Chains A and B, each alone.
Chain A
């Protein structure tokens, strides 16, 4: 892999982590001393993606904003890696009028027609719309593709299997991504899934299936490159499962008392690991690391500031946008 590409992957991972840390800070800032999920500047459930940066960075490096991405209830890393407008995304998370959905959606419901990005809070249900986006792209004679993302828990949903069958049957230009972070909220993968790798399930639909171990961003990048090329060439879908890491709780406020691997989590953090790898390879030095963090900080804090200054939606507008 070219050093330039490696640095891009690293910088994207830093940007995502910086954003998630900023949201974490803002989310908890006014929920003290007693945690109240509905209180504060950012109310509601908050599913942060720290630890899963390699998946989004590795996959989205092959996309343009003409391609579609459908993400999950934990969508920020894919939104950022796909190039969504950061200030408007932050404003939506804050529930403000300048948000992508003018405050109607929230962090699980980010829709950006400019980058063909969307997400759904319902497990596995982001897969079917991606099929239709892919169908539309193909019908128009383009080589645009759709990437559909779920977690490993979603691979036991009917929507997952219906979608794989239909996409394979119609040879749709789709890349299916499964983020295996070991946990469906509190249920470990061993208690939910009958096969060691969801990539095996691809065989049931006659499509390639690849599993990436160790949250390896460069391996994700390589597998996604092949899958995206295959989709663009009209050869049909691919399923990629990445064994990734939920660095924090299922949602903020999750004490994770059920989590047997919690002590080992920090040692598996992919961001310092990749930084070390690139330093040792001479791709990164102190200056480059400092600049990546500084640039990310600038962008993120500017987005947070934009969100903070944006107005709350007027109550009298609550009935707007039900119909076009």
Chain B
């Protein structure tokens, strides 16, 4: 992996080859910030003794106690709204929405309050909080527990949206998110956390520097350079794209894989530079196809210069259908390696 970061050591260059799961890397960042800043605290469902359903808070209760690691009732409107109020008063809450799919019960506090107060106040009030949430499917959890929905959040102004794809970025983006004076939605893919009870991507465990560092919010990472096709993607799909790139490299097709790492702000410059080199664009997105990230990325390229594209841009996303339960159906709609491979080959033949 290469890194475009200037502020953080790339994993390959890090003196430590210590490896962590994505979940442990997230927790390490939260713990370090809690130790550094007494205003940081954690709230959410099952984030105390359980340590987070997806191990996003393991051990924090033991270290910091119940005053700073607060299990909540199943009242997302109340506790996410409470995080907004606490942030307005200068605390820095890290609040967890267990599954992003649950946003329907509390979206008002998120998009009408968390995201708008700074603007409505003419910049006089800041809302420094992190809303963490689990995303993604692939394990037959059905239509209400498998979505990504980052496009929905990114569509609404006033919140940054970050989506790490690996342990290094998970730690660096969490550190940056907690230190940011804006609300940041931090979306972690269940299949990337390294959970022992779920099939996981082999890269869900990777090198993580022990010292603290920030991955700048809004800077994409070219995780594999290549001359033929730009595969612009994020989260778990980054790894599917890397696998396809490895495979096709043996057949003379070189994919450049761009890990966006954030939707808001979107690193348009890196996308344009990559497409400028390759002339071919594939966007891989585990969110729904229409009105979302994949269309936005293509629009940003076409708005700047349609001549950059030597072939029509392509998209591999979840077609506009709820995520099915049955494995055969779910994998028919997820952005799998085979769908990515087919799309890349069609692009280079075009």
The reply on B87 being an interface residue by CB < 8 A is: yes
Residues of A contacting B122 with CB < 8 Å?
Answer: 99-105, 321
Residues of B contacting A128 with CB < 8 Å?
Answer: 77-82, 84-85, 109, 113
Residues facing B in A87-132 (CB within 8 A) are 99-105, 109, 111-113, 116, 118, 120, 122, 125, 127-132
Residues facing A in B141-159 (CB within 8 A) are 157-158
Tell me how far the C-beta of B48 lies from the nearest C-beta in chain A, rounded to whole angstroms.
14
Residues of B contacting A133 with CB < 8 Å?
Answer: 85-86, 88-89
The reply on B328 being an interface residue by CB < 8 A is: no
Verify B121–A101 contact, CB threshold 8 A: yes
Q: How many A-B residue pairs have CB under 8 A?
A: 145
Tell me how far the C-beta of B336 lies from the nearest C-beta in chain A, rounded to whole angstroms.
36
User: What's the Cα separation between A162 and B109 when bound, in Å?
Assistant: 13
> What per-residue 1/0 map shows which CB atoms of A281-324 lie under 8 Å from chain B?
00000000000000000000000000000000000000011111
Tell me how far the C-beta of A145 lies from the nearest C-beta in chain B, rounded to whole angstroms.
12
User: What's the Cα separation between A159 and B76 when bound, in Å?
Assistant: 9
Residues of A contacting B6 with CB < 8 Å?
Answer: none
User: What's the Cα separation between A228 and B82 when bound, in Å?
Assistant: 20
How many B residues are at the interface, by size bracket?
Answer: 35 or more
User: What's the Cα separation between A95 and B81 when bound, in Å?
Assistant: 27
- The chain A residue sitting closest to B79, CB to CB, is A166
Residues of A contacting B72 with CB < 8 Å?
Answer: 166
Residues of A contacting B73 with CB < 8 Å?
Answer: 162, 165-166, 169
The reply on B22 being an interface residue by CB < 8 A is: no
User: What's the Cα separation between A321 and B90 when bound, in Å?
Assistant: 18
- The chain A residue sitting closest to B87, CB to CB, is A132
The reply on B100 being an interface residue by CB < 8 A is: no
The reply on B35 being an interface residue by CB < 8 A is: no
| Pairs A–B under 8 Å by Cβ, sample size 18 | A68-B85, A100-B121, A111-B117, A113-B124, A120-B112, A122-B112, A132-B81, A132-B85, A132-B86, A133-B88, A135-B82, A162-B73, A162-B75, A162-B78, A165-B73, A321-B119, A322-B119, A324-B181
Interface residues of A (CB under 8 A from B): 68, 70, 99-105, 109, 111-113, 116, 118, 120, 122, 125, 127-137, 139, 146, 158-159, 162-163, 165-166, 169, 320-324
Interface residues of B (CB under 8 A from A): 41, 67, 72-73, 75, 77-91, 93, 105, 108-109, 112-113, 116-126, 157-158, 160, 181-182
